[in-house]
Amino acid sequence: GENVEQHPSTLSVQEGDSAVIKCTYSDSASNYFPWYKQELGKRPQLIIDIRSNVGEKKDQRIAVTLNKTAKHFSLHITETQPEDSAVYFCAASTSNFNKFYFGSGTKLNVKP
């Protein structure tokens, strides 16, 4: 089955700096990769997703890159703000209607 690994487990950055979170997956059949932000006690919120037919997707300060050959994808947050502090999860799936295989999460701390 699919195995998703996520690094780092914790990440501290200064406000205004960039943050990068990386995930790898094992199943070449996976073609849908969502990213979630989860604040304490709340539901995971979809912040961006990418499908395997594109290599990069951007939404304001957030971008995701995908390397299908190497089976890894990354979340990039630029100009970080304290409100970006949360736990971020990556996931891999064959579609958003199917099982998601989640990474272990990255706790991002943005220091003001």
Partner 1 sequence: GAVVSQHPSWVICKSGTSVKIECRSLDFQATTMFWYRQFPKQSLMLMATSNEGSKATYEQGVEKDKFLINHASLTLSTLTVTSAHPEDSSFYICRETAFFGQGTRLTVV
Kindly state the smallest distance separating residue 63's Cβ from partner 1, in Å: 18
Rounded Cα gap, residues 52 and 67, in angstroms: 9
Q: Is 89 in the site for partner 1 (CB under 8 A)?
A: yes
Give the footprint of partner 1 on residues 90-109 (CB under 8 A).
96-97, 99-100, 102-105
Q: Does 112 bind partner 1 (CB under 8 A)?
A: no
Selection from 104, 107, 49, 109 nearest residue 75 by Cα = 49
The token duo for 40 is 């304490």
Q: Assess contact for 32 and 52: CB atoms under 8 A.
A: yes
Q: Which is nearer to partner 1, 25 or 89 (CB)?
A: 89
Among 7, 20, 27, 49, binds partner 1 (CB under 8 A): 49
Cβ atoms of 33 and 73 closer than 8 Å: yes
* DSSP E strand boundaries for 39-102: 45-51, 56-59, 62-67, 72-77, 86-92, 101-102
Contact between 42 and partner 1 by CB under 8 A: the answer reads yes
Name residues contacting partner 1, limited to 51-80 (CB under 8 A). Answer: none
Residue ranges binding partner 1 (CB under 8 A) = 34, 36, 41-46, 49, 89, 96-97, 99-100, 102-105
